[in-house]
Structure formats: C-alpha cells, structure tokens
C-alpha cells in the first residue's frame, strides 16, 4: 500500500470510492483490512476508509445494498427509480461529499 501512495488521504479515498462501487461499500472496507494497519497514520486511514466507503455508496444505484432496497420498494409502490435517474443525483452528491470529507480528514 505504501508503494501505491495510499497513505495519502486523496488516493485512499479514490480507491475506496471505486472499490465501493465495484463490490459494494462493506466488502470494499473489509478487503482493505489487512492493508491499513501498516500505514503511517492508520487511524486517519481508517477514518478515510469509513467515510469514503459510506459516501461512495451514493454514487450509483448499485453502490450500496440500501440503495437497492429503496429502489425495489419504490418500484413496488409504482415509482421506479432508473439507474440513470439515480446517477444524475448520485454523481454530484458523491463527488461533493467525498471532496468535503477528504479535505476535512486530510487537514485534521
């Protein structure tokens, strides 16, 4: 992880965000478990992983199981939510919240 520069909160946040949307947020955090303790500031790295995996779940409809549950309930109630309708809101929301969270954690 050191060779990838993931001690940097920005790089770690980006990796977690991508992984969270490939395998979902909880598995992404669990997959990183063995790689975080050796980092120079493991405490901050865990905070970045927690923040990024949670907020990145808002990026796409499949980014979090909770999103899928809500979408299924909306469909059953007669108000389906398409992938692209969700993405139009999820994209800017996720980018703004991830940027704010990473700035906050990088400066503290």
pLDDT in tens, 2-38: 577 888 999 999 999 999 888 888 888 999 999 999 8
Q: Which residues of 16-40 are buried (b: 16+ CB within 10 A; e: fewer)?
A: bbebbbeebbeebbeebeebbeebe
Alpha carbons within 13 angstroms on the beta-carbon side of residue 49 total: 21
Q: By the 8 A CB rule, do 35 and 29 touch?
A: no
Query: What is the pLDDT confidence band of residue 1, given thresholds at 50, 70 and 90?
Result: low
How high is the pLDDT of residue 6?
A: 86
Q: Per the structure, how many domains does the chain have?
A: 1
Phi-psi map region of 81: left, alpha, beta (phi>0 left; psi -120 to 50 alpha): beta
How high is the pLDDT of residue 41?
A: 92
Q: Average model confidence (pLDDT) for the chain?
A: 91
The pTM is what? 0.84
Q: By the 8 A CB rule, do 82 and 46 touch?
A: no
Q: Which domain holds residue 36?
A: 2-107
Mean pLDDT of 53-81: 92
């Amino acid at each position: 992880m050191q060779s990838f520069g993931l001690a940097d909160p920005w790089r770690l946040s980006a990796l977690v965000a991508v992984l969270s949307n490939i395998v979902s947020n909880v598995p992404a955090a669990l997959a990183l478990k063995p790689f975080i303790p050796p980092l120079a500031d493991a405490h901050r790295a865990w905070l970045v992983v927690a923040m990024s995996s949670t907020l990145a779940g808002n990026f796409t409809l499949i980014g979090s199981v909770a999103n899928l549950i809500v979408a299924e309930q909306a469909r059953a109630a007669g108000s389906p939510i398409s992938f692209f309708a969700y993405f139009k809101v999820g994209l800017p929301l996720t980018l703004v919240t991830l940027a704010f969270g990473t700035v906050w954690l990088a400066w503290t």
